[in-house]
Amino acid sequence: MYTVRFQFSANRAPDFLLGSQTIAEMEFAEISEIVALVQEFAESLEETLIYCQESDKVLGLSDFKIQ
């Protein structure tokens, strides 16, 4: 299981979140689901952090280019 925190750019956040929020957190069972969302919303995201509950590790995707 993965907990993912998406940080949207301030100018795009209102398209996805309420009020002045810029961060959304979601749970996923598969990495492929996360990759699909990151690819779809790449232009709106400033950072994506993935916490893998199994390994107790956090990965920030801003250091990687996902195509």
Residue 53 · residue 4 · CB < 8 Å: no
Residue 16 · residue 27 · CB < 8 Å: no
Give the residue extent of every domain in the chain. 2-59
pLDDT of residue 65: 65
- Whole-number Å distance between alpha carbons of 18 and 60: 24
- Whole-number Å distance between alpha carbons of 19 and 4: 20
Locate the DSSP E strands across the chain: 2-8, 23-28, 45-52, 57-60
15-65 residue pLDDT tens: 889 888 999 999 999 999 998 999 999 899 999 999 999 999 999 987 776
